[in-house]
Amino acid sequence: MTLVVLAHGTNDPAGRATWGALLTRVRSLLPDEEVRLAWAGVARPQLADLLPKLGAGPVVVVPAFLASGFHVRRDVPEQLAALGRTDVRVTDPLGPDPALVDAALERLRDAGWSDERVVLAAAGSTDPVAQADLETAASLVRERVGGEVPVGYVAGGDPRLADVVAAQDGPVALLTWLLAPGVFHRWASGVGAAVVAEPLGDHPAVASLLVERYRTAAALAS
């Protein structure tokens, strides 16, 4: 059985290196399985490129996204339908998952967070389901840090991250709800926060969750 990790897509060298490092972690946890990477946009190979090269399934696709937006609920099912692939099982996305919240808080502490107001910095979406997932992630952060944790969007939808940071009373620490470095993280770093956490990247919790999603789907498919 093949695991395909579906990432958002980037041409940023640091971002691509991070995804490579994460795939190395996943392969170390699944030494007997084929593990491949596909991009949902921007870069190649995309699912429509990769799946025909894999031959007959079964295949498990794990969407490496932190919310259930367009790619998870529309793009991937439409691609599979167009390819006529009925041997591909698509799992839930990675987020919002408590294990990733804990990993993001670890990144925040590593960045030097002490008592600054925490803001969750997300790529953003205009999709109501994705926005609800991001609010769920923020609620999980609130449970761990106490107090309000507003959400700011870097790219899509409102409220914009820069506006959220500007509206806070006192210094702000950004909990980065992103998987890899790239343009979104650079934009987040420029909004005036006192502390900016690194993306989740190849944190062991991300690799473990990818493997968990895969094994659950593989057990159901067998």
Q: Which two tokens stand for residue 27?
A: 């392969």
**How much is the pLDDT for 69?**
79
**How much is the pLDDT for 220?**
86
Taking only the tens place, the pLDDT of each residue in 86-98 is: 889 999 999 999 9
Contacts for 174 with CB less than 8 Å, ≥ 6 apart: 108, 118, 119, 120, 121, 161, 165, 188, 191, 193, 195, 196, 197
**How much is the pLDDT for 71?**
72
What global pTM score does this model have?
Answer: 0.94
**How much is the pLDDT for 17?**
96
**How much is the pLDDT for 86?**
83
